[in-house]
Chain A
């Protein structure tokens, strides 16, 4: 808080302290285990440096492109009402929530050797485009992260009170004035955070690099860790690469913490947002084109997966359905844990313990693969890891979703505290009453978003579970992976479609619940 309203209680709230401690223990503990078990590794070779360079290059290109394309798309979506807008915004959650294996398959179906794009080029007598390598990795990352960037910007845009736009209309603002006085402050507040988020996600890219990259010219650090672990079982080298990855992410996080500034917008009463500006035919046509292009880029790979899997869906074996039920349980457990931790950290940050909220970003510095390995090493001496497959998967996925959850909650928590903190204090609203009557209602929208995100990510994750699971007890993504390994490609496509449906349904149900509440 600023100097104008220091709170009498300067101590950080106990729930925030507890949440930060839990996150730190669950993140740093496994890491320490990896470091201890790994021991000493040799000096890095040329392949390791190449992996480091490629990791940074592809992440920077992916983040820059994702955010640059998200600005016009978010603005068009924020100021246009059209049939299907609601569905499109829900679908914006899809590619990011899409299990990465399925996303990579979708990209291949569109841009691959026999994909839609190359078939079109061949029909026109043009040379084919090559998807494998840097370009493939970046295209897949933009496909996966453009929707996230757009949603982050859209949340910022919708946080501008309708009163401001009415005032702008009353003052005769032209589009340039609106951009300067209303939109640019929001972009300044949200863009750096969005770009940094995408960059950090892409730094830890594994599945995309595995499928669309690979080889000495297109291997990320994560992929190198996996190869050292799986192919050579060279744990010291894997640990050294993991430390390089950790240092890289920590440096990027430190830079991101510098640029992210909160917006200084006041509250608006909860009326429906109204847009009177930017109604020229040119602006309308531009927005329509942006929305159409964005929708096509995001829907084509999904459509390709649906087309391949749909005919077989009804004939899936019962084991696939049992795996789906396990994934549902894991997803709901992860969502509950993420939202509880994120709420404690965001409210703590809003009440002056901003440094504790950094704990929420801690998991960004640790890849799921490294975290899962560390957890495995911790569990292994004490119990049969296969019995811990589902809890470990839920735990790691809850942690992985936490940075996004905190990022979504913190601005709303700060706004609720800045706008209504004194009123609540003056009325003696503390503890549970304050949570129930002030915090939860004001944060309903981002809370629902965070819960949906965590559930869907968790349902679709393939990573930790492969380290823990025995022969049975597979989650749905692992079942897809096993079907692929058994060359039952039709079943795999259909199971992938079921997985996609499960992830989207989880996100849709949770996110929509919050939006209905926020509109009330």
Chain B
């Protein structure tokens, strides 16, 4: 269970409050107008943004003392999810060992993870030689190997076309289902939420609301969401 208890984030004029819980293994969309703080909410869970008040816990454990890399979290950003100077296999291998001193068995696991996301045999390439969809798959292969219980997606597939994005979301769904991973996924598209997230957190007007069933939320949106959806 992920809990945000009395959390308050303040950055200059911007402020966001969150008091909510996400069940283990849940798949939750985070939706709301731009600038409302969707990314900031994820950054706070990942450990990139200090809390002005409150605490974030996973399975009852306060995450505050943990550096971002030590948290039970994998995160994919909007861009720069791969180091351009490392090969695809090295980028994926960082999920196993941040110093890349990899054993033969670990190299085999990397190759298997690449094959699992449809990039078999492409480990020696550099990210610049991959398409946008392939870069997303490589980042997901690293998520597979990191095997953290919490996956945060900050719109890493926003630049992809609808069909490719649907493929990616299907792959995400399969990956989190296999390991029972808890998913928090920022999106600006209610169809993404409807596609793979049974629950949705609405972030608007300085608050992150508790998760609600996506279907009922979209069928009868509160005023803030209605203004955003138009």
Interface residues of A (CB under 8 A from B): 3-6, 8, 267, 269-271, 419-420, 422-423, 425-430, 432-434, 436-438, 441-442, 520
Closest residue to A428 on the B side, CB-wise? B69
Do A438 and B49 contact each other (CB < 8 Å), given the known contacts A269-B128, A423-B77? no
Asked if residues B69 and A3 are in contact (CB atoms below 8 Å), the reply is no
Interface string of B85-115 (1 = CB under 8 A from A): 1100010001100111000000000000000
Asked if residues B83 and A270 are in contact (CB atoms below 8 Å), the reply is no
Give the complex CA separation of A171 and B77 in angstroms: 27
Measured between beta carbons, the chain A residues less than 8 angstroms from B81 are 423
Cross-chain contact of B80 among A270, A419, A436, A520 (Cβ < 8 A): A419
Asked if residues B99 and A433 are in contact (CB atoms below 8 Å), the reply is yes
Interface string of B46-89 (1 = CB under 8 A from A): 11111000000000000000011110011101011101111000
Do A8 and B67 contact each other (CB < 8 Å), given the known contacts A426-B75, A429-B98, A433-B99? yes
- Judged by a CB distance under 8 angstroms, whether B11 is at the interface is yes
Cross-chain contact of A425 among B67, B90, B146 (Cβ < 8 A): B67
Asked if residues B80 and A423 are in contact (CB atoms below 8 Å), the reply is yes
Asked if residues A437 and B100 are in contact (CB atoms below 8 Å), the reply is yes
Asked if residues A430 and B69 are in contact (CB atoms below 8 Å), the reply is yes
Closest Cβ–Cβ distance, residue B101 to chain A (whole Å): 9
Size class of the B contact interface (CB-based, 8 Å): 20 to 34
Give the complex CA separation of A427 and B67 in angstroms: 10
Give the complex CA separation of A165 and B86 in angstroms: 24
Do A3 and B48 contact each other (CB < 8 Å), given the known contacts A269-B84, A270-B128? no
Measured between beta carbons, the chain B residues less than 8 angstroms from A425 are 47-48, 67-69
Give the complex CA separation of A436 and B83 in angstroms: 13
Give the complex CA separation of A441 and B91 in angstroms: 14
Task: List 27 A-B residue pairs with CB atoms under 8 Å apart, sorted by A's residue number.
Answer: A6-B49, A8-B48, A8-B50, A267-B84, A269-B128, A270-B85, A270-B126, A271-B128, A419-B80, A422-B48, A422-B77, A423-B80, A423-B81, A423-B83, A425-B67, A426-B69, A426-B74, A427-B69, A427-B98, A428-B67, A428-B98, A433-B98, A433-B100, A434-B98, A437-B98, A441-B83, A441-B86
Nearest first, the 8 closest Cβ-Cβ pairs linking A and B are A428-B69, A433-B99, A269-B128, A441-B85, A425-B68, A429-B98, A428-B98, A270-B84
- Judged by a CB distance under 8 angstroms, whether B136 is at the interface is no
Asked if residues A427 and B12 are in contact (CB atoms below 8 Å), the reply is no
Asked if residues B12 and A3 are in contact (CB atoms below 8 Å), the reply is yes
Interface residues of B (CB under 8 A from A): 11-12, 43, 46-50, 67-70, 73-75, 77, 79-81, 83-86, 90, 94-95, 98-100, 126-128, 146
Do A426 and B11 contact each other (CB < 8 Å), given the known contacts A6-B49, A270-B126? no
Asked if residues B95 and A427 are in contact (CB atoms below 8 Å), the reply is yes
Most interface-central of B68, B90, B146 (chain A CB within 10 A): B68
Give the complex CA separation of A422 and B154 in angstroms: 13
Closest residue to B152 on the A side, CB-wise? A426
Cross-chain contact of A5 among B48, B86, B127 (Cβ < 8 A): B48
Give the complex CA separation of A170 and B104 in angstroms: 46
Asked if residues A420 and B80 are in contact (CB atoms below 8 Å), the reply is yes
Give the complex CA separation of A438 and B81 in angstroms: 13
Measured between beta carbons, the chain B residues less than 8 angstroms from A270 are 84-85, 126, 128
Measured between beta carbons, the chain B residues less than 8 angstroms from A423 are 77, 80-81, 83
Do A429 and B85 contact each other (CB < 8 Å), given the known contacts A3-B11, A423-B77? no
Asked if residues B69 and A429 are in contact (CB atoms below 8 Å), the reply is yes
Measured between beta carbons, the chain B residues less than 8 angstroms from A5 are 43, 48-49
Give the complex CA separation of A184 and B154 in angstroms: 32
Give the complex CA separation of A426 and B143 in angstroms: 11
Cross-chain contact of B11 among A4, A433, A441 (Cβ < 8 A): A4
Closest residue to B101 on the A side, CB-wise? A433
Closest residue to A438 on the B side, CB-wise? B83
Closest Cβ–Cβ distance, residue A48 to chain B (whole Å): 51
Do A426 and B80 contact each other (CB < 8 Å), given the known contacts A3-B12, A271-B128? no
Do A437 and B69 contact each other (CB < 8 Å), given the known contacts A425-B48, A427-B94? no
Measured between beta carbons, the chain A residues less than 8 angstroms from B12 are 3
- Identify 16 new A-B residue pairs, CB closer than 8 A, beyond the known A3-B11, A426-B73: A8-B48, A8-B67, A267-B79, A269-B127, A419-B80, A422-B77, A423-B77, A425-B47, A425-B48, A426-B75, A427-B94, A428-B67, A428-B70, A437-B99, A437-B100, A442-B85
Measured between beta carbons, the chain A residues less than 8 angstroms from B43 are 5
Closest residue to B94 on the A side, CB-wise? A427
Give the complex CA separation of A189 and B213 in angstroms: 50
Measured between beta carbons, the chain B residues less than 8 angstroms from A441 are 83, 85-86
Give the complex CA separation of A8 and B81 in angstroms: 20
Do A437 and B73 contact each other (CB < 8 Å), given the known contacts A3-B11, A425-B48, A425-B68? no
Asked if residues B85 and A8 are in contact (CB atoms below 8 Å), the reply is no
Measured between beta carbons, the chain A residues less than 8 angstroms from B69 are 425-430
Do A429 and B94 contact each other (CB < 8 Å), given the known contacts A423-B80, A437-B83? yes
Closest residue to B81 on the A side, CB-wise? A423
Give the complex CA separation of A8 and B64 in angstroms: 10
Give the complex CA separation of A429 and B67 in angstroms: 11
Measured between beta carbons, the chain B residues less than 8 angstroms from A427 are 69, 94-95, 98, 146
Measured between beta carbons, the chain A residues less than 8 angstroms from B90 are 437
Give the complex CA separation of A433 and B69 in angstroms: 13
Closest Cβ–Cβ distance, residue A202 to chain B (whole Å): 37
Measured between beta carbons, the chain B residues less than 8 angstroms from A520 are 85
Asked if residues B98 and A430 are in contact (CB atoms below 8 Å), the reply is yes
Most interface-central of A267, A426, A428, A429 (chain B CB within 10 A): A426
Measured between beta carbons, the chain A residues less than 8 angstroms from B70 are 428
Measured between beta carbons, the chain A residues less than 8 angstroms from B67 are 8, 425, 428, 430
Measured between beta carbons, the chain A residues less than 8 angstroms from B50 are 6, 8
Give the complex CA separation of A227 and B11 in angstroms: 58
Give the complex CA separation of A4 and B73 in angstroms: 20
